[in-house]
Every structure is written in C-alpha cells, then in structure tokens.
Amino acid sequence: MRGEICTAHGIPQVRGTMTNGAALLQLVMDGGGEGVCKKRLDATWYDAMIVAKRMDIWLCRVRGPVHGTQSVFIEDAASGQDRGRVALRGGKCDHVRPGSLIRVEAMAAHDSGKLRQPNPCRDWLVQY
C-alpha cells in the first residue's frame, strides 16, 4: 500500500530489503535522498533512533543580528547570496559582528539559496 501511495504522488522510494546500513545510506544518497534512520518497529515518535543524514558546510559572512534573538542574518562569503539566518546560541552571537566569517552546517540549500536547518559548525568562527 505504501508503494502505491508513493507512486501515485510521485514520492521516491528505496526498493528492496537491505541488511547493510552503509549500502542503504549510499543508495539513498546517490538517489538524491537526505538520509536514513533506524528505529524499532514498535517504537513511538518519542523513542530514540539512529540517524544518518546528508550535511554540507558553507562559509558564510554575517550580515547583522536578528534583533531580539540569538541569531544572525548570513550570506554566502563568496557570492553574497542570502543564506537566511542561523542561531548562535550560548553567547556565540556576542562573538561576531557584520562581516565576520563563520562556518555553517546545513542539510541543503533551498531553491531560494537559504540554508535548510543551519547550525554553526564545531569550529564555527573563521574570522572576527
């Protein structure tokens, strides 16, 4: 039934059964998917799961603060394209200014160029 619903609505599917998680992840990534998760069949939404997702890193320039939040507006460091905003929690927003360069990890860029689910990298601050 899942296959019929997905086919009717143009939703891509991974075909077949795999016991090799790395091979499954590679198949999904090669097909343009964002990742896979492993969860017990009887688990609820709140139970733990193992997730492997596509993540990329962008070098961004801070355009300025998002007032009233711990976020900043960002743009691509090379092209100046708007990349949206990223939360710099834990006081990180106090360590940047307009023009600072930061490394941002995100799942992908939307068609608009803004980053999907952006977060600062572990070594996030490149240049104050």
Under CATH, to which class is 56-127 assigned? mainly beta
Place of tokens 């960002």: 74
Residue 16 has pLDDT above 80, yes or no: no
- Buried b or exposed e, range 90-116, using 16+ CB within 10 angstroms: eebbeebeeebbbbbbbbebeeeeebe
pLDDT band at 18 (very low <50, low <70, confident <90, very high): confident
Predicted TM-score (pTM) of this structure: 0.68
Query: Tokens standing for 56?
Result: 């990329």
Identify the bridge partners of residue 72 per DSSP, sorted by sequence position.
65, 86
Backbone angles phi, psi at 40, to 5 degrees: -60, 145
From CA 113, how far away is CA 58, in angstroms rounded?
11
pLDDT in tens, 69-121: 999 999 999 999 999 999 999 989 999 999 999 999 998 899 999 999 999 99
- Domain-wise residue ranges, the chain: 2-53, 56-127
